[in-house]
Structures are given as structure tokens and as C-alpha cells.
Amino acid sequence: MMKEVEKKYGASFMLLLYRDKSKLELWEEREVEGVGTLNYYIGPGIDEEMMDYILEEADGVVDYEGGGDYSVLLCDYDLIPGYYESSYEYELLHPDPNAMFSVEDTQNLRFQTRCQAMRKSEHFEEFQNGNFKLTEGRHITPKDEHVVMISKEFAQRNGLKLGDSFKIQGDSLTLRGFPEVPLGLIETEIIGIYEMTYQQSVTEYTDECDILNNWILVDNETGYDLDKIYGNPPSLWVSTIYVENPAELDKVMKEVNGLEGIDWQYYELRKDDSMYKDAVKPLDTVKKIMFVCLCVILAAGILLLSLVITHSMKKRVRETGILMSLGITGKEIRWQFLLEHLLLGIAAFLLALVVSFAVTPIIGEQIYGTVHQEKEQKVYTEKEIEAAIARGEQSKASEMAKNQKTGVEPPKELHTKVSVKTVVIVFVSMLLIIYFCVNGVIKKTLKLEPIRVLSMIE
């Protein structure tokens, strides 16, 4: 089970681009039509060539993910309504002549959503933590160009299906203030449809861009086109590097940081193994509990087995004397008793082994069920959100309105089994106990004369 979790979540670290605003040579003023003069970053970026170089040169690196997180407008579609749709409808009915911005200036906010560009959509956090599942089509791959994945609810709301054309436009608010207008146009093809695995509670305070069913996932070529619309050089911006062995995460990070050919004054490495730790925590707890139980049972078994064998051998002192008086050698007597106890021990061991194979999964599942309590999503009511707004806690109210499930859910079931290593350890321990206990008791008896042994009281 631990191997399965490592394979699914692994461990990773991020390669971040550091854009130093104090270095004027990295920035350039440009005139953008309909927007004005803006300051653009023109320095080094993160590209696929750099990431492929890290993948080839660093031991322990198995894959990487890179892309960008964009705000876009979907003006041709009907988004799942939230705060801005409600505000737009209210302002149409109750226009405020003293408002800082007109309805026309802000009306496109209801089309604003999150667009995540990526190399492989299966690496997206919402798929990794189980909040999204693919229901139709396929995932985005590195070879894709101008493709998109949308939610099932969004597709049904807009009558969209696999293979349909899908239009994406840039968001002017990314560059400057109101009025908000769409910038450029990118045409993509729908190749995948995902579905949420839980019901996100959407209130009148939830922004459209925070409603997960409004999110879209695109390939990196589409992301590069968005960079061009916003006047930025095509870049992966933030990249995640996946490590084969979570225990060697720090070692791999150090190796990557020492690679030549990368000017590290522009980049930063940051550990990102939270998903793996969240998933493995209850499994690790169960592992420790079962190890303690095994040690206690093994210690108790050794003590009990030693007492039983010792007591059994002491009751057979007269039998030993009779065998000695018949001329049977001490070596033969020792091997006879050893063989008897070994046969009994092996029979008992095989019976215990069958029982343990049947009982261990049940015990493991019960312990795991006690340790792992599935997280419940906290859903905030409109009254709770309004109370936060009344207290002036705007940022907290915004987070509460999202009502998004976070964190990683560990496996719902734990399949526990007896390992070969444990079986061998227990079997060898039993053989050693039988050998030393039988020899320890009979050794004293064999040193005596047969007449002396026969005169002893059992």
C-alpha cells in the first residue's frame, strides 16, 4: 500500500522563476492597444528545454509538470452563476449613478474563470487529490496543441461535447483596471470532460472564478498563446519536479541546484511534498501500531513458549533416566526430544500461519478505520459569510465563499497482509527457542548418572 501511495502522489519540489523588479534590464515598457503603457518582464524564463535537461541529468527525477495559471474570459458561454452574475442582474434593476464603475465596465466579470495550462492534466492537483475525475475523452498530454478540458456541468449547460470548438479570450484585468474587456481569441478543441466528486456549495458570494465547474484545463501551447496576448514571453512560470523516492527528496533537490548551465540567481527551488505526507500519514500510523503489536505478541510468544517447553522437559526427567539406563547415548536422547518438540512446533506454526493470514487483514482494516477518519468538507452558510463581511474580514469571507475541498484523501481501504519477512523471523525465532530450551534443561540431566536421575522425584 505504501508503494501504491508513493507511485500515485510521490514527492516533488517546485522550480520557481524569480522576477527581480529592482533589475531594470529585465523589464521593458510596452504600449498595449486598448490598455496603455505597461512594464513587461523580458528576462530568463522556464522552458521545456530546461526541464528536459533537469530530467536527463538529475538522478532520482522521474517526471516534471509545468505550466501557468491564467485568468481568462469565456464570453461566448454561460458559466455557472455566482457573485458577479447576481451583482450584474441587481445593478441592471437598481442602477447606482454614484458607482465608481458602470455596469458596462464590470459586466464581463461574470465570464471570468481560471485557466490552468499544463503538460499532463493527470498531474493537476484536483485530479491528484480526487476532487476531479475524468468521465469522457482523455487527459492532456505533452504532444497536444490547442486542446481543452471542461467540466461535465459546464458542458451540459452550454450543449458542448467532445470534439467541439471552444473559444478562450484573455482578461484585461490581468494587465490593468476597469473597464474589463476580452483580449485576443484562442480556438481550442474539447478533448476531455471531468466531473467533480463532491458537491461544491455555491452561494451568492462565490465568485465565478472560484466555482470549480467553471475551470478549464489547457495544454502549454495554449498557455504560450495566452502569454503572447498578455505580452509576456512564453514560459512555464512554475514547474513541479517529481522524485522517485520521497526519502531522497532533499538529496535530489541539492543535486538539481548544483546543475551547471542554469543561472540560479533567477530561480528558486521549493519543497512540495505535502500531498504525499497527507496521504501517507494514516498509513504510517497504522504501520507503527502494527509494528508495536507485533513486537508485543512476539515477546509474549517467546516467553510463553519458553515456559511451556521448560516445564515439559522437567516433567520428563525420569524418562530421560530410563533411556540412559538402557544405554541410549545423550546425543540420541537430545535429538529425540528436539525432534518431538520441533514437530509439535511446526504443526502449531502452520496452524497459526493459516489463522494469521485470515485475521491480519481484518485487524489492519479495523486499526486503519480508527486512525483514518475521512475529512468532512466545511460548508459555510450565507449568514456566516455575511457575518465575516460585517466584521470587515473581507479576505476570510472570500475564502469561506469558495467552499472548496482541500487536502488529499488517503486510500479509503487498507489491504494488510503478512509479509514473508515476518513469517521467516517468527519461524526462525521458534526454532531457536525450542533448541535452546530443550538443550538447556536436558544438559543438566545428561551430566548425572542414570541411577541418580531415576531416584529424582518428578
The pLDDT tens digits for 123-170 are 888 888 778 899 999 999 999 999 999 999 999 999 999 999 999 999
Question: Which pLDDT band, with edges at 50, 70 and 90, does 2 fall under?
Answer: very low
Residue 302 pLDDT exceeds 70: yes
What pLDDT does 140 receive? Answer: 94
Phi then psi for 38, rounded to 5 degrees?
Answer: -130, 155
Does this model's pTM top 0.85? no
Residue 223 host element (H or E) = helix 220-229
Most confident of 21-30, 215-224, 251-260, 363-372: 215-224
Per-residue pLDDT at 112: 92
Task: Write out the three cell numbers for 259.
Answer: 546543475
Give the 3-state secondary structure of residue 339.
Answer: helix
Q: Is the pLDDT of residue 293 over 80?
A: no
C-alpha cell read off for 311: 516445564
Statement: residue 13 has pLDDT above 80? yes
Is residue 199 a contact partner of residue 397, using CB atoms and an 8 Å limit?
Answer: no
What CA–CA distance (Å, rounded) separates 258 from 247? 19
Mean residue pLDDT of the chain comes to: 78
Which cell is 431 given? 526454532
pLDDT for the residue numbered 185? 94
Question: Using a CB cutoff of 8 Å and minimum separation of 24, what contacts does 157-166 make?
Answer: 157/78, 157/80, 158/77, 158/78, 160/190, 161/190, 162/136, 162/137, 162/190, 162/191, 162/192, 162/193, 163/189, 163/190, 164/189, 164/190, 165/189, 165/190, 166/190, 166/216
The string of pLDDT tens digits covering residues 416-448 is 666 788 788 888 888 888 888 777 777 766 666
Give the pLDDT score at 158.
95
Q: What is the pLDDT of residues 192-224, one digit of tens each?
A: 999 988 887 777 778 888 899 999 999 999 999
Return the pLDDT at 36.
66
How confident is the model at residue 368, as a pLDDT? 58
* CA–CA distance, 210 with 77 (Å, rounded to integer): 17
pLDDT at site 190: 96
pLDDT at 304 over 60: yes
Amino acid making up residue 329: T
**DSSP 8-class letter at 278:** H
The C-alpha atoms of residue 446 and residue 450 are separated, in whole angstroms, by 8
pLDDT at residue 391 is higher than 60: no
Using the predicted structure, report yes or no on whether residue 75 has a pLDDT greater than 50.
Answer: yes
Residue 224: per-residue pLDDT: 92
